[in-house]
Structures are given as C-alpha cells and as structure tokens.
Amino acid sequence: MQKDKSSLRCLALLALLSSTFLVADLGADEGMWLFNQIPFETLREKHQFVPDPGWAEHLLRACVRLSSGGSGSFVSPEGLILTNHHVGSDALQKLSTPEKNLLAEGFLADARERELKCQDLEILSLVEIVDVTARVNGAVPQGADPAAAGKARREAMAVIEKESKDATGGKSEVVTLYQGGQYHLYRYKRYDDVRLVMAPETDIAFFGGDVDNFEYPRHDLDICLFRVYEGGKPARVEHYLRWSQSGAADGELVFVTGHPASTKRLNTVDHFRFLRDVEYPSMLAMLARKEITLQQYSIRGLEEERRARDELFGVQNSRKARRGVLAGLLDPAILLEKSRTEAEIRAKVVANPQFGATLEDWERIANARRAFVGFYDEYQFLENGRAFWSSLFGTARTLVRLGDEREKPNAERLPGYRESDMESLEQQLYSTAPIYADLEKVMLSDSLTSFATALGAEHPLVRMVLAGRSPIDRAANLVDGTKLLDVEARREVAKGGRKAIAASADPMIVLARAVDPYAREARRKYEDLVQGVEREAYGRIANALFKIRGTAVYPDATYTLRLAFGKVAGYVEGGQNVAPFTTLGGAFEKHEKHRGMPPFQLPKSWLDAREKLDLSTPFNFVATVDIVGGNSGSPVTNRKGEFVGIIFDGNIQSLVWDISYTEEAARCVAVASPSILEALRKIYGAAAVVEEILKASRG
Amino acid sequence: MQKDKSSLRCLALLALLSSTFLVADLGADEGMWLFNQIPFETLREKHQFVPDPGWAEHLLRACVRLSSGGSGSFVSPEGLILTNHHVGSDALQKLSTPEKNLLAEGFLADARERELKCQDLEILSLVEIVDVTARVNGAVPQGADPAAAGKARREAMAVIEKESKDATGGKSEVVTLYQGGQYHLYRYKRYDDVRLVMAPETDIAFFGGDVDNFEYPRHDLDICLFRVYEGGKPARVEHYLRWSQSGAADGELVFVTGHPASTKRLNTVDHFRFLRDVEYPSMLAMLARKEITLQQYSIRGLEEERRARDELFGVQNSRKARRGVLAGLLDPAILLEKSRTEAEIRAKVVANPQFGATLEDWERIANARRAFVGFYDEYQFLENGRAFWSSLFGTARTLVRLGDEREKPNAERLPGYRESDMESLEQQLYSTAPIYADLEKVMLSDSLTSFATALGAEHPLVRMVLAGRSPIDRAANLVDGTKLLDVEARREVAKGGRKAIAASADPMIVLARAVDPYAREARRKYEDLVQGVEREAYGRIANALFKIRGTAVYPDATYTLRLAFGKVAGYVEGGQNVAPFTTLGGAFEKHEKHRGMPPFQLPKSWLDAREKLDLSTPFNFVATVDIVGGNSGSPVTNRKGEFVGIIFDGNIQSLVWDISYTEEAARCVAVASPSILEALRKIYGAAAVVEEILKASRG
C-alpha cells in the first residue's frame, strides 16, 4: 500500500511542478461527475472498468436525496431506504418527546404498521437530467447587462421548471453548473410519506462524538432506515441496491453516488480570497456564538439537552468542517497551486481569443466580490436570515412571501415559491414538528444580539427590528406574542393571502413583513451585482476551460447527484500507517480504553450483545473517493453495483476537499456493509429488515 | 423584606424621573469607595453606623490583592490568607501534575512544612494611599497638546513610583482615578513566597459549574487558603480579620473590602456606544472562539482536560460576564438613563463655566473613540497580544521589551518595566510553572488564524507574522523551535540584554522582536489619540462632577482597594422570592435532584461526611453590596470588622453592575463564614487550620 501511495504522491508533485499542470491530476481519484458526463474513458484506462449498459442508470435511480440534507439509497423493492443516522436525526428529533427520546434510545418498528410517519421529511428520487443550457442562455436579450441577463435567465429557468412539472408531475429543478457554464434540468419523483423503520442509539451512531467527528479510525454505526409510502402502502421501486455481505476489500475500486452539497474548486483566486478573508471568518464567528448559546441552553437540564440536540450537532459539525476549510484557505501552498493553475488558464485564454473569455472576466468576479463586501452583513442578516435564528420567524417569512409571490406570474416568483415548489413548501410550512418556545427565545435573542452588534445598535434597521427593546426582551415579546406555533393559525394566514398578511397583528408576521422589503433589496443587490455578474463571467471562463481541458472538467458540487470513484486505501499520518478498515471489536476496545466515558460510551444493547458478535467484522473503512458534505448517506458500491458501505464522514485531511482535492492522506469514511447486517441481526434483533434486504439481494 | 424593596424601587424610579437626578441614588447601596474618601456621613445617616477610629485602617491592612487576579484577607497573625478557589486556581493548576491534580482532588497540608510553595503567585498588602494629583498634573507644561501632556504625566507617575519605592522599599503604583480626574499613589508590601495551605475539590468549589456560574441560589465552597512567608517563615501580620462563627443575618449591614477590577459607570454615552458596538462584540467573538478551541483540546483526553482547565474556566467566566454586560448595553432603558444623567450634567456645565468643563470635552471623547475604531484591531492584536495567545510568546515579548526598556531612563520606560516593577516582572518571567507545548500550539494557531482573518491574510503584518506558513504550521514552527520553555534559557537571554535579543535566532524571540515596533506604534497611537485625549477630557468632566455632586462620587473601579457596603437581602425573580441564605443541606439536595451528574456532583469527601454535618449551616448568601470582577475573594465583614463571608460571585442580574448599579434584584454572592469552618472541621479534618483561625479570633 505504502509504495503505491508514495508513487502517487510523486506523480502529483511532478504534475504540480510541470508547466502543463492545467487539468485535474488524472493519477488521483478526483472528481464529482455528472451522471450525463461520466468519464468512462478514465474508468477504462485507469481502472480497467467498463460498466454494463444500464449500470449508471441503475445507480442513479437507486439513489435518493433527503430534505434534511443528505443522501440515501433504496435497498429493497419495497421502498426501504438506508441513510445516515445524522441525516435522519432531524426526523428523529421531531418524532421524539420528553418521554421517548428516539435519538438517545434508538428505534425499531417491530412491524410495518408501527413504522413511524415523519412530520416533514421529503425524499426525492432522480428520474432524468436534461441539458437546457442553450435554452436558458437563449432567453437573454442581446446586449443585456448582467442584471437584466440574470433576470432573464431566472425567468427562463422558472418556465422550464413549470413546463416539466406540468408535463411529468415530478418535482423539477434547473441547476446552475460550472458557476454559470451550463444549466441542466433535474426531474425527480417526490415521496412525502416517509416512515422511520430503524435507528440505532446516538451513542453508537455517533460513537466518539465531536472528538472523533472528521477523524479516523472510527467505529460508528451511522445508519438509519426509512421507508417511503405511496397511497398508504410501501412504495414499489424498480431500482435498489443489492447488498454485498462480504463488503469491499483493501485496494478495491468503489463508487459513491450521492449529493455533494457545495464545493468551490473552480473559484478564481480572488474569489478564494473573499472566502478566506470575509465569508469563512464571518461564518465561523456565527457558528462559535451559536455553539456556545446552544451549549448554555443544553446544560440547563436533560430535557433542554434533548431539545437542542440536533441543532447543536449541526452547528458543531459545520464548525469543525469549516475550521478545516479555513485552515486550507490560509495554507499558502494551496492558494499558490490555485494561482499557478489560474495563471496558466489566463495565459491560454489570452493566446486563444476564440475561447471566448478575457482577463476582464476574472476582474469582473473580483469586483463583484468587492461589491459584495459592502452589503455582505445586510445580505446575511436580512435575506439569509442570520438575524432571525428562529423557526417561527422562518414560518412568518414564508407566509409573508407566499402572500406576495402567489400574486405574481409563476416565472417572476422567487425560487422556492413557484408552482413546482408548492408541495415541498406546504409540507414544511404545515409541519407538526415540535417547536420549543424557550429554545426559540434563546436562539432568537442570540441572533438579534449578533445583528445589533454587527450593524451597530443604532442602525435604522436594527432599531426597526428591535422596536425599542433589548434583544432578550424583543425575542421574548415575539415568541410569546406569535400564534404561529399553531399549525392551524398558519393555514389560516396562508389562506387569507396577501390581505391577511397585511392585516395581521401577529408580532412575528409584523416583523417579517417590515423586514421583507430590505431583505428583498439585499437579495436584488446580490443577484444583480454579484450573482448576475459572476454567472456571466464564470460561464465564459468555464466554456474556455472546456476547450482547454476537454471533458476532464467536472462542475463544482451543487447538491445534485454525482458519481465519484476511488480505491479503498489506508494512509500515513504522523509517520504511522492508518489501516483502511476497523472492526466491531475495535469499538469495544475504544469503550474500554476510555472507561466508557462519553462520548466513548457504547450503548447497553452493544455491551449486552458482545458475546454473540463476530468482533472481526469490518466496521468502518476509508477510501480515496471524492466527497463532501451532502454526501452523507451516499451508498458505496462495487463494480457489480452492489452495496458495500455507506459514506458518513471524511477524515480531517479531507476537509480541504471543499476547495481542493488531495489524495495523499485525505479520505472519505464509510460504514462497511457487513457490520450493518451483523448489528441489525445480533444487536437489534431486526430479523425482518435483514430478511427483506437479503431477499432483495438474492431476488 | 419585600415591602422594603418595593419602596426602594419606587424611590429609584422617582429619582430617575426627577429632574434633579444627578447623583447616585442614595437610597441604593451603590458605591466602590476609596479608602481615603469613605462616605462616613452616608454610613451614619443611612445605616446609623459610626465606626471606631482605626476601623477602616484595620480593614485596609487586613485585605490583600493576588497577582492571579482577585482579593483576599488575612485571617490569622501567622500570614494565613483566605481567598476564592477560583482565584487560587491559577496556582493550583501550576502546582498540579498528570499524577496529582490539585484542582480535581483538592489539597490539605498536614503540617506547615508541607505547605506547597507556589511558582509565581505574588500577594500585595496595601500600606498607604497618597493623593498625588497636583504633582502629576503639575508636570504638564502649559499649552501642551494631549499627547505631550499624556507623556509628561506618565513620566511624572514613573518618578513618583520610583521615589516611593526607593524611600520605602515597597511596591508603588500611581493609580489613575475618575478616568483622569485624580491620581493616587498606592504603596504595597509585597509577598513573593506564597504557599498553598488548603483547597477543596473543584466539584464543590465550583459546584454547578458553568450552569450555576453567576446564578443564585448557590452551594459553593469557593475558598482556598494560602500562607505568606518571609525569610522562610510564616509572615507575622498585625492586621487580620477575626472570624464570626455565627456569620451574618438577613438584613444586616455588611462591608466588602476588595479590588474591583474595572467598571465603566462614569463613561460618556458615546463611550458606552463604543463599548456596545465595538469593544464587547469584538471581545465576545474572541472569547467564543477561544472557548470552542479549548473545549476541542480538552475533549481529547483527561490529561488535556487537566492542562486546559484553568484557562477554559477563565474564558467561560469572562464570556458569561461579558454577555451579561452586553445585554445591559443593548438595553435601551439603561442607555436612556445614562443619556438623561449626562444631559443634566452637560446643562450644569454650560450654566457654570467656572466648573472648568465644556461640551467639547464630551465631543473630544467621542472623537477619540472614533479614532480608536480605525486602529482597534491592530492595537488589540499586536499591542494587547490578541494575535499571540501563548505564554511562550508572552515570555519572548517580555524579554524583548526588557532589553529595550532597561537602557532607558526609568521615567521613560513602559509601565511594567520600571525599577519598581522589576521584582514582580522577574517572578513571572522566571516562573517554573509548567507550559504545555501541545496546548501552546493549539492556542497560538487559533489566535494567529483570528489575526489573519481579522486583518486579511495578505495584510503586510499578517504576512510578516505568518512568514509564509499557515497559522497551524507557523504555531508548530514557533513552539517547537523556541528554547523559552527552559527557565535557564530565559535568564540567559535576559542577562545578555538588548544585544543578546538582537542576536537571538530563537524563532519566538525573532517574532516578538519583529512585531514590537508595530505593537509600540499601536500603543503610541492609543496613548496619544485616545488615552491622552480622554484623560484630559474626563479629568475636566470629573472635576465638574465633584463640584455638582460634592463627595457623592466614587471613581470607576481600577483594581485597587475599595470599600463597599450594603445589606444581606434576598430578592424576587420571576415572581418568586429568592431567600438570602442557602444551607449545606441544600447542596446535597441539589446533588440528588441532578442524580450526581456533573456539574452537580458532590465530591466523595462530602458524601462521606454527610452524617456528621449540621445541614442547617448557612452555606452561601446574597447582599446588595456593590462589587464586580476582581472582588472575588474579598472578605465580607460586619460592623465589628469580623469576617462573616467571602465574595465569590454576583447573580446574573448583577452583571450590568459593570456599567450601572441596580439594587432591585442584583446581588453579590458570598460563602458564609459558618459553612467554611464546618467544612474545614468535619469534611476536610483541617483541625490545625481551624484552631489557628479560632485562636486568632479569640486573641
């Protein structure tokens, strides 16, 4: 293993030094490929893999996206879906009560009819991808400035989505790829009746907690099983993954099919500087504040801890991930490599006017980012809602915007409020998931404080929002005064439309209404001065890039389905070999080493089952496959398309993958298929689920 | 009790509304009085208390200040000092090893010769106060601009300090009072041989942890006993407090003698706005970051948790306190009151030119703060060292500055580097307290990251500091490369003076050397453009205030000895009466209610001793006495000058006392004297200590 990796490292180094270093290092397993642009040639040349016809289509159809933010896959024809525990945790949190804490205790439906219906979980299964670039760009009138062009494109996208929805009934989204280089229509089948089948205890799903998060070796059973229903019955699905009982082997080629949420690898260097000096510092300051606030709330008692659990996990997870990215952005070596690559692309662009880009495109992006700095805080606080850390405010804003947007022609509406979005919007808006007034107050007063200190307490917008009160008083006044905790009250307001909104005296609605013009103005500035300009400039750069690199360019991640591949492989850290696989036995060793102190406390179910388990069963493993956040829950498959594991993390070295792929020690982390079956069988007694999976795999 | 408080509230309200509301509400127990300006009249009129001659002098001499940041008092003629556990914790941390964790396990010297010598704890006992205002102001040449005037004053202060030190041998400090209205010389006796006598376990000293910090009711034995030595023997002291075995009673008049560190009550409204919009947000962002970083380090393992314990406590304590102050600053009612008071003072100033102040003085302060915003980050990061969160960097800077400053005439040196400071400086510089390289790296890389993101990674100063590395690499490079972990290496460099510094290749010294000119420039700008201007303007406003208010003005806290007084009194919170006293039994009830889960886990020593204890013994109590941070460890005494308790906290309502005293529900929190004796006797078997205290009280 070591030898292979050393030579790969040499290759990468050579490539870096070579003046022709323009394309992604093909020696490395880099790439989050579009399903309609799979690099079959690379697969054949590098991995001697020529898939059967239908192989890609099958993977595409077997994979799903969850509205709680993550990926999953069908593992039986009866709509059984496997995802991560930390992807399902939003649903687990919402289904929990003070008496029954599903996150802590886990869950197993002992019969189909006792599978628990989730309040607002939506699952999308991709059906089709259509390239609509020409149509979107064709909608832009000649000579339009970037703002007008942006508007024309947004309207064209809305029209395409509506047509697709009307024609097929499926959820339809036009996705902007290559920062504006291409536009593809994604058509999904939508499931809104999703039921919880099985979840282990958080203690083993997130064994090692925040300490081990983004670390390796790991011992986590980060899984959760849902089932989608149609017409009150388990949905019948054609495409599902067959289960490999032996799992993957060291060195084996594996594939990951999932929804990486966001990468910034194709950014210009000036855009990276913006991320480094403005966006990440701002985001990390917010996350640190939120983390402390949620911790302070959580330590009040066990019930408070339960209420804040999922939100706190999300904040901590983001904080750790983004600290890693910022460290990468502050590493001069990484930016130096980006600068070199950029310099060479710029040289090619200058030498080849026919590529259609000019150096001004880079300058336009730099200027757009510079302009953004001027209203960054207002945009984040008002339009992105950073001032209003409260689900009740979110509900109020949705109602206010729904009232306004519904009166507009579909193509002119804000994204999220178009006809094709209504089912999803209503599922969220009328969710019966619990909202805790005490937690809302704590969060809202924290974010109002942050808003007041960022803009200055005497800023007119701050004065308007605080209405003469301190942030603490104002949050209490809003949360105590609103009726939006009640789902029926929400329906009532929505039904009344714009008039009901205008007449409402509900303080949260009054606030959302008052803020909205300013939020929309910040959004308009962003769309016109930043997004519009960048889409055009990045679009031209991307087109030049296609001409320079051929097909060896994949777009940055967009929370849409991608295919990635690589090898199961250990790595070296601090001079030590890190083996690719851990075992179930290792979890018990770790528990003992830490004397069962949290977060290294195995649940009772595991301690009780120890004797029955095959402790040599592979538990977690690492591979070179290119993933980022959003890939959580993605299936790992082998050449035969069999399920060999499920992605749940990357190691600490992989955090820079947001901006730059490296293969030396960065790895994705997965739960191995054999350990899942072993646990379901011997720890959780989930015989029916195991039988369903195995039967599907035989069938 | 309730009735009294309601009427007090009415009085305060009337005063607020009255147009003559100019002076501190004499109905309230507000005031941190100078020992040379004690309001004897108020004591007589309001509390019918006329102290014996020598009463104040005795209190003054019995009280001490600790270099770790807090107060204490002598409780026996043999140099026995009582302070808080959280004031002693710095020493406890430094005396601990991986094998013997004094913070966790507590400590009791079973004989004098086994009292543990602290590495670098210094204790100061005040001897004398001399008003030197005329001399300091007299040193300013006529017509000098604020910068030149500031310089002249600083030099005059240095001369006075040196004269005093030469004449008396004691540590001498000229203190700036009323933000520049007066200058007083404080002469101290200094003890540098301090030994640990007794400390309880953190679990009971800080029972309730961060959850209960700044809350009430409390059940904390937040005490620690040290002894000062002279010539290798326990120091003989004349003034010490006699112990009241019965403690204080509800409603009783009590006194607090201690060192409140810093208040901002006399600030102008524009200065408050600066605190609200600039200083506190900046500080809180830093604290949140530090807290997360230390938590992340601590969760690596038990040894890491031990290493970071005291630093983490300090950060969490500051964060909670400062969040409280910021909430006050964001409360429009508080700033409205400040504005009203200020408007009336300004009106009097305009009407009475002979008072010597003008409206321009307020404008000058506002302008100075506005100017400060322009270089606030550079000042904080470079001069205040926020970029260099590392004790090794602190050592390097001290060495660099020592080399430079020693070559200057004493009067021109930086504060801290004058002849009168050398003993304290060397005690710190050559401390053998452990420094953990791994923790240093974590802290330093965190602060370097914050520096890089605040100024931008391409700022010339950031580039100079990072020297082409990422913050993580640079921190490792500095900590691994420096020899300053070794005390002998420090002595060597110090001995070589400026030449050795200039020649040093030690990376930490090289960095401190490179940064110093920029840090000094930021300091100069602060002194000339902010401090110099404000000293003059505040000085004139203060003098006008004396003329308006007579003697009813006390200066803001300056970490020098003050006398405060008030009544033992409960309060109402959320409609519930909060009783002034808790009992030892309450601690056991709390432990049971929380099922012994940290931070509500009583130590084994307490659980074992339960049967022996008188559970009705008063444990903690609250009073209206005006305190802030720095008062920790201050003795609470009764009319007879007897020790009835020790301050260790304020409740959450008291956090705004930094900017404004309110009496309605804000309270200081103390450990009651009876519980200390009960615990020493029956839980810790500290018979000799108890006997020493009781003998001293009889004697």
Residues 421-460 of A with CB under 8 A from B: 449, 452-454, 456-458
> What is the per-residue pLDDT for A27?
58
Whether B211 sits inside 8 A of A280 (CB atoms) is: no
Residue-wise pLDDT tens digits, B598-615: 899 999 999 999 999 999
Distance from CA of A488 to the nearest CA of B (A): 31
> What is the per-residue pLDDT for B80?
98
Res A610 pLDDT > 70 = yes
Whether A470 sits inside 8 A of B300 (CB atoms) is: no
Of B215, B275, B277, which to mutate for an interface test with A (greatest number of A Cβ within 10 Å)? B277
Whether B288 sits inside 8 A of A284 (CB atoms) is: no
CA B309-B315-B321 angle, 5° bins? 130
B258 has which bridge partners? B562
> What is the per-residue pLDDT for A552?
77
Please state, for a pLDDT cut of 90, what percent of chain A lies above it. 92
Please say whether the beta carbons of A601 and A588 come within 8 A.
no
* Distance from C-alpha of B26 to C-alpha of B33, rounded to nearest angstrom: 14
* Distance from C-alpha of A457 to C-alpha of A674, rounded to nearest angstrom: 57
Whether B449 sits inside 8 A of A326 (CB atoms) is: yes
Whether A277 sits inside 8 A of B457 (CB atoms) is: yes
Please say whether the beta carbons of A602 and A588 come within 8 A.
yes
> What is the per-residue pLDDT for B8?
31
Contact with chain B for residue A366, Cβ under 8 A: no
User: Which of A277, A299, A470 lies nearest to residue B327, judging by beta carbons?
Assistant: A470
Query: How many other β-carbons are positioned within 10 Å of the β-carbon of residue B544?
Result: 22
Contact with chain B for residue A467, Cβ under 8 A: no
* Distance from C-alpha of B22 to C-alpha of B342, rounded to nearest angstrom: 8
How much is the average pLDDT of A518-546? 95
Whether A285 sits inside 8 A of B280 (CB atoms) is: no
* Distance from C-alpha of B496 to C-alpha of B490, rounded to nearest angstrom: 10
| Beta-carbon contacts of residue A315 (< 8 Å; ≥ 6 apart) | A287, A290, A291, A294
A234 has which bridge partners? A229
Alpha-carbon distances, residue B470 vs A22, A653, B511, B581, B627 (angstroms)? 25, 15, 15, 54, 44
Residue-wise pLDDT tens digits, A614-660: 999 999 999 999 999 999 999 999 999 999 999 999 999 999 999 99
> What is the per-residue pLDDT for A22?
35
> What is the per-residue pLDDT for B27?
58
Residue-wise pLDDT tens digits, B147-200: 999 999 999 999 999 999 999 999 999 999 998 999 999 999 999 999 999 999
User: Which of B210, B281, B319 lies nearest to residue A453, judging by beta carbons?
Assistant: B281
Res A16 pLDDT > 60 = no
Residue-wise pLDDT tens digits, B651-695: 999 999 999 999 999 999 999 999 999 999 999 999 999 999 999
Q: How confident is the model at residue B549 (pLDDT cuts 50, 70, 90)?
A: confident
User: Can you say whether the dihedral through the CA atoms of A194, A198, A203, A207 is positive or negative?
Assistant: negative
Res B24 pLDDT > 80 = no
CA A388 to chain centre: 22
Of B207, B270, B286, B292, which to mutate for an interface test with A (greatest number of A Cβ within 10 Å)? B292
User: Which of B211, B330, B449 lies nearest to residue A330, judging by beta carbons?
Assistant: B449
Please say whether the beta carbons of B684 and B201 come within 8 A.
no
Distance from CA of A468 to the nearest CA of B (A): 7
Residue of B nearest to A474 (CA): B331
Residue of B nearest to A274 (CA): B456
Res B503 pLDDT > 70 = yes
Whether A296 sits inside 8 A of B210 (CB atoms) is: yes
* Distance from C-alpha of B414 to C-alpha of B383, rounded to nearest angstrom: 12
Res A19 pLDDT > 70 = no
SS3 (DSSP) at A238: coil
Instruction: Give, as one character, the DSSP assignment of residue A236.
Output: P
* Distance from C-alpha of A89 to C-alpha of B248, rounded to nearest angstrom: 53
Res B58 pLDDT > 50 = yes
Whether A299 sits inside 8 A of B211 (CB atoms) is: yes
Buried b (16+ CB within 10 A) or exposed e, A665-680: bbbbbbbbbbbbbbbb
Whether A299 sits inside 8 A of B210 (CB atoms) is: yes
Q: How confident is the model at residue A15 (pLDDT cuts 50, 70, 90)?
A: very low
Contact with chain A for residue B274, Cβ under 8 A: no
For the entire predicted model, the pTM comes to 0.91
Residues 287-326 of A with CB under 8 A from B: 288-289, 291-292, 296, 299-300, 319, 326
Dihedrals phi, psi of B579, to nearest 5 degrees: -70, 150
Res A26 pLDDT > 70 = no
Residue of B nearest to A457 (CA): B277
> What is the per-residue pLDDT for B10?
33
> What is the per-residue pLDDT for A549?
87
* Distance from C-alpha of B115 to C-alpha of B107, rounded to nearest angstrom: 9
Residue-wise pLDDT tens digits, A129-169: 999 999 999 999 999 999 999 999 999 999 999 999 999 99
> What is the per-residue pLDDT for B551?
64
The pLDDT mean for chain B works out to 93
Whether A457 sits inside 8 A of B330 (CB atoms) is: yes
Token code pair at residue A107: 């869950």
Res A23 pLDDT > 70 = no
User: Which of B300, B332, B457 lies nearest to residue A276, judging by beta carbons?
Assistant: B457
Lowest mean pLDDT among A22-31, A258-267, A597-606, B495-504: A22-31
User: Which of B277, B292, B472 lies nearest to residue A288, judging by beta carbons?
Assistant: B292
> What is the per-residue pLDDT for A507?
98
* Distance from C-alpha of A149 to C-alpha of A141, rounded to nearest angstrom: 7
How many CB pairs (< 8 A) connect A and B? Answer: 93
User: Which of B299, B453, B468 lies nearest to residue A210, judging by beta carbons?
Assistant: B299
Distance from CA of B331 to the nearest CA of A (A): 4
Of A274, A330, A442, A445, which to mutate for an interface test with B (greatest number of B Cβ within 10 Å)? A330
* Distance from C-alpha of A417 to C-alpha of A404, rounded to nearest angstrom: 10
Q: How confident is the model at residue A551 (pLDDT cuts 50, 70, 90)?
A: low
Contact with chain A for residue B129, Cβ under 8 A: no
How much is the average pLDDT of B83-112? 96
Residue of B nearest to A320 (CA): B296
Res A7 pLDDT > 70 = no
> What is the per-residue pLDDT for B290?
97
Res A28 pLDDT > 90 = no
CA B406 to chain centre: 28
Residue-wise pLDDT tens digits, A92-137: 999 999 999 999 999 999 999 999 999 999 999 999 999 999 999 9
Contact with chain B for residue A472, Cβ under 8 A: yes
Res B372 pLDDT > 90 = yes
